[in-house]
Structure 1
Amino acid sequence: MVEAIKLWNEPNNMSHWDFDVDKGWALFSNMAKLAGAAVKAERPYLPRVLGGMSPIDPGFLRNLEGQGVLEHVDVVAIHGFPLDWNHWQLDEWPARYREIQSMVRHPVWITEVGVSTFGAEEVQEFGLRRTAELLLNLAPRVHWYSLYDLPRAWPATTRHREAEGSSYYRHFYMGLLREDGTPKKALRHFADYTPKMGICQWFHFEDPRLDEAVSWLKKLGVKKLRTGLSWADSFRPNADAWFDRQMTALEDFDVTLTFCFTPEHRGHRPHHTSPPLRAEEFADFCVRMTRRYA
């Protein structure tokens, strides 16, 4: 069921990696190389995906290449949200994709793309159709973000409300379903693009939406699913039981499984975006989860 392992998420975005602590990404590069080598030793033929760039930045990719990271991954991933966060237009997607593809010998996957309903549901409806037209025949993997809106009672811990203004609130409206599980207008079109288009859906620890999400994914004809297991959550009581439940529920899908989030007590700073004190500990988590689920 696990078709690929993804090493971290958006490492060039402060919402996921603190590059004030890790200037130049030397700590990230070391961690990614250790984790990539460890996963390959455990499962030699399982593709390893570099955490998706957001924003799409050729300079960042050159930096990691210069530090040897690309020798330890098999796929490069990018994320783009031009109608909500990026400073470029939707129709620029093919050019952005080809720029990255021209730099590497690796396949390039689009592991997050989406449109919020913050202003109007019709914007997402248009954005889904146009994104499919632009990307499904261009990239070998495209994952729509996401199935569900983020519940408003949950803080969007991967965004910075004070700094981002309205962009922070857009993050709560990226789903094809509202937080109460009712469909938005774009949902009626999504099955037109499956199974070629996948979905990225993160599940929180002991997420009550899991079973309903699986039902919707099957109704929509989704085959390719990207989700994650949190290294930070692995220190919670009953973590393995929750991970087992989540992965068992997803066994009918081809899963790209993302490993990320530093436990507060194992970071240079007490935050899930912090570089870990010991990169080997993240690599050990990757191996344990790979052995358990891949």
Structure 2
Amino acid sequence: MIEAAMIWNEPNNKSHWDPEIDPDWRLFSEMAIAAGQAIRAEHPTLPRVLGGISPIDPAFIRNLAARGVLDHVDVVAVHGFPLDWNLWQIHEWPAKIDEIRAVTNLPIWVSEVGISTFGAEEVQVWGLNRTAELLIGEVPKIHWYSLYDLPRAWEATTRHREAEGSSYYRHFYMGLLREDGTPKPALEEFAKYTPEMGLCQWFHFEDHRLDDAVAWMKRLGVKYLRTGLSWADSFRPNALAWFDRQMEALADFDVTVTFCFTPEHRGIAPHHTSAPLVKEEFAEFCASMIRRYAGKGAVAPEAKLLEAL
């Protein structure tokens, strides 16, 4: 059910990790090492992926390598959105991958890449085709972000929200499907690149789109997927029932599961981007999810159903 475990998401992006609390990423490094060790203790062969970095920054990878983090992960991941947020052009993708290859011998995955339809849906079609041309065969895993547009009633996970202007609103138009589930022109193009290209789709707690998403992914020929299990959500009522439902629905795919988001009451600051008060608590959350969904003690579907009832 779980193909790989990703430790955090975009740790060098202040929308996901607070650099005022941890300006040199020492606390992040200690937490990531603890999580990597905990995952390895539960599963001796499951690949551990360093949370996809955004921006693509070799100096950040060198910093984590010097702190020992790369000794406790098996893959380095990067995120790139050159037509929306990055200050480089789409044809630079191979050069960006080479920048990271120059500072690590670990495999490199592109765990998020996408094009918004904020300006025009035709731009996404062109960008998808060009991205596939540049990245298929260049890296072993490509997770296209995303299947669905973000519902306008929800908030995008950014630091400054609407104050970011158009950069913020682009978050709501990254899907191959519109918010109402109708296809955009790029959907048909995407099907040409599966199974070589996978998807990244975040599911919110008790997400109403889950079953429809599974049906669409099977229709598109998707074989692998990246999603998340939120440490913060684990403190909600009925959290395990939702996690079970999500993971069971995704059982036919090779899933890279991302562990991230600090519970407000367990952070140095009360925010999901905060370094935790106790790094071992995040590590134990990772271990418990591996035990449940990938380890020797993984809960059988019938047992999970009985527990949910």
Q: How far apart in 2 are the matches of 1:249 and 1:27?
A: 34
Q: Which amino acid aligns with 2:123?
A: V
Match of 1:289 in 2: 289
1:101 aligns with 2:101: yes
Q: Is the 8 A contact 2:162 2:169 kept in 1?
A: no
Residue 102 of structure 1 deviates from its aligned partner by: 2.3
Q: How far apart in 2 are the matches of 1:292 and 1:179?
A: 32
Q: Which amino acid aligns with 2:22?
A: D
> Deviation string for 1:244-286 (max 9, x for gaps)?
0000000000000100000000001111111100000000000
Q: Is the 8 A contact 2:226 2:255 kept in 1?
A: yes
User: Which one is further off, 172-181 or 152-161?
Assistant: 152-161
Q: Is the 8 A contact 1:227 1:258 kept in 2?
A: yes
Residue 162 of structure 1 deviates from its aligned partner by: 4.4
Q: Which amino acid aligns with 1:172?
A: F
Residue 148 of structure 1 deviates from its aligned partner by: 0.3
Q: How far apart in 1 are the matches of 2:157 and 2:94?
A: 30
> Deviation string for 1:212-267 (max 9, x for gaps)?
00000000000010000000000000000000000000000000010000000000
Q: Is the 8 A contact 1:159 1:168 kept in 2?
A: no
Match of 2:208 in 1: 208
Match of 1:259 in 2: 259
Match of 2:83 in 1: 83
Match of 1:72 in 2: 72
> Aligned-pair RMSD on alpha carbons?
0.7
1:154 aligns with 2:154: yes
Match of 1:13 in 2: 13
1:189 aligns with 2:189: yes
TM-score (norm 1): 0.99
Q: Is the 8 A contact 1:112 1:143 kept in 2?
A: yes
> Deviation string for 1:51-89 (max 9, x for gaps)?
000000011111101101000000000000000000000
**SS in structure 2 at match of 1:41:** helix
Residue 137 of structure 1 deviates from its aligned partner by: 1.1
Q: Which amino acid aligns with 1:260?
A: C
Residue 99 of structure 1 deviates from its aligned partner by: 1.3
TM-score (norm 2): 0.94
Alignment of 1:34-183 (within 5 A): 34-183=34-183
**SS in structure 1 at match of 2:37:** helix
Residue 101 of structure 1 deviates from its aligned partner by: 1.5
Q: How far apart in 2 are the matches of 1:159 and 1:148?
A: 22
Q: Is the 8 A contact 1:112 1:144 kept in 2?
A: yes
**SS in structure 2 at match of 1:55:** coil
Residue 182 of structure 1 deviates from its aligned partner by: 0.4
User: Which one is further off, 155-164 or 232-241?
Assistant: 155-164
Q: Is the 8 A contact 1:228 1:260 kept in 2?
A: yes
Q: How far apart in 2 are the matches of 1:106 and 1:43?
A: 19
Q: Is the 8 A contact 2:4 2:47 kept in 1?
A: yes
Q: How far apart in 1 are the matches of 2:65 and 2:270?
A: 29
Residue segments in structure 2 that go unaligned for 5+ positions in a row: 295-309
Distance 1:231 1:162, change over 3 A: same
**SS in structure 2 at match of 1:6:** strand
Q: Which amino acid aligns with 2:130?
A: R
Match of 1:247 in 2: 247
Q: How far apart in 2 are the matches of 1:23 and 1:240?
A: 34
Q: Which amino acid aligns with 2:269?
A: R
Residue 159 of structure 1 deviates from its aligned partner by: 4.7
Q: How far apart in 2 are the matches of 1:251 and 1:224?
A: 10
**SS in structure 2 at match of 1:258:** strand
Identity %: 73
Match of 1:225 in 2: 225
